[in-house]
Structures are given as structure tokens and as C-alpha cells.
Amino acid sequence: MRSKPHSPHTAPQTAERIRDAAISEFAAHGFAATTVRRIAAVAEVSPGLVIHHFDNKDNLRRACDEYVFGSITEYKRQRAGASPLAAVEMFRDDTMRVHLEYLITSLLDPSEQGQRFFDYYVDSLETIIREGFAGYHLRRTEDTRAQATVLAILGLAPLLLESRVRHALGTTDLPSSMARLTPYLSQVYQQGIFERTPAPSATPGSPHDPPAGDPDPASPPPPAEGPS
């Protein structure tokens, strides 16, 4: 028995078109300023059809969050073995650029939904710390939640500070800024930032230091005075 064809308005492609229009509008204008009516106009459907597929704007935003995050993660996963500079292509891809703009808009949103997006990002990084990512395995610490949060801060900073970074580097856009930053971010991830560190005894206030006023235990004692 044949299944009935989807109505043009209820087909999965319609929901995808609404979602993609919402991602673009949320990224460009923010969540509070973007209306269901505006999303419907961009998607070329009625506002009622947006509600039919997603119930309300909050649910639509949640669907956008999940899709954007999954899209960025999958893009990185597929290119995990590429050179660091190859990753810069993500910032030149038109679709990914919109998704990154959405990510920035969401992270800067002070609402509960914005916090949820950041928490979701940290959750994903914590999973990567435990399980690895495309053959890469991270050094684990006792507090993996704090470790994941540090990695989130490091990974998101170039996006959230994009205009400041552009001014500091003298670049013209996000792709050119990331082309400059990516090799050094990769170096930080793989090699750390310190070439040399002081020996423990040379660090002021180190528990290895002798108490103030005590002689250095490595130096020989002064010669004993003979009888006068």
C-alpha cells in the first residue's frame, strides 16, 4: 500500500526551510527582535505553519541550537585530521559562517537559553575529554568540568572578541584573523605555552625553599674557627 505524499506545507523540507530561515534571522537580528512573522516571511510560509511545526518560538530556537551545534561539531569531526590552516575554511564557508554568527549571538544572549547553549558546549567538551575525538585523546585532570570550561573559553574567545582581535592583528575579517591565530592555537593545544619553567627551589615562596634566614642547604657550611 502506498503511503500518501506529504503536503507541501507539512513535508520535512518545510520544517528545515523554517529552521534555516530562523537561524539566519536569529544570527542577524538577535532572538528578542526576531518575530515568528519575520521568520515565516523569509521561509515563504505562513506564521501559522511555523507554529504548526515548532509550537512556539522557544521550541524553534531549541531546534536551531541543536542543529547549529551538531553542524559545527560534525564539520570539525570530518576535518579533524587536516592541517590547522585547513580548519580556517570553516570561516569562509557561507553556511558555516551563518552558524558561527548564530553561535556568537546565542552565547552573548543573557537569557536562560543562552546559558543552556554554553552549558551544552561545555558538556560536549567534557565528553571529548573522556572519550577522545577523531583519534585525538586529551590529558585528563581530576576536575574534568573545569578543564572543559577552560577549553570552551579558549575555543570561543576568538569569536566573541572578533572585532578586538581584528584590530590587534590588523586583519580585515574573521577568516583572515583565524588564519593568523589557528597555527598558534594549535601549538597551545598540542605543546603548551612554556618552553622552560624555573626549578622549584628557584620559585619565590616555594615549599622547597628553606625558611627565611636559614642557610642554603646546598651550600657548604662555613669553616669552623680554630683556637685563637
In sequence order, what are the beta bridge partners of 136? Answer: 133
Would you state the pLDDT for residue 176? 92
Would you state the pLDDT for residue 228? 47
- State residue 198 phi and psi, 5-degree precision: -70, 150
> What does each C-alpha distance from 107 to 53, 64, 140, 166 come to in angstroms?
25, 13, 26, 20
Would you state the pLDDT for residue 206? 55
pLDDT along the chain (228 residues), means of 10: 49 90 95 95 96 95 93 82 74 90 90 87 92 84 95 92 95 92 87 83 57 52 53
CA gap 48, 59 in Å, rounded: 14
- State residue 46 phi and psi, 5-degree precision: -85, 155
Would you state the pLDDT for residue 132? 86
> Going from the N-terminus, what domains does the chain have, and what CATH number goes with each?
64-192 (1.10.357.10)
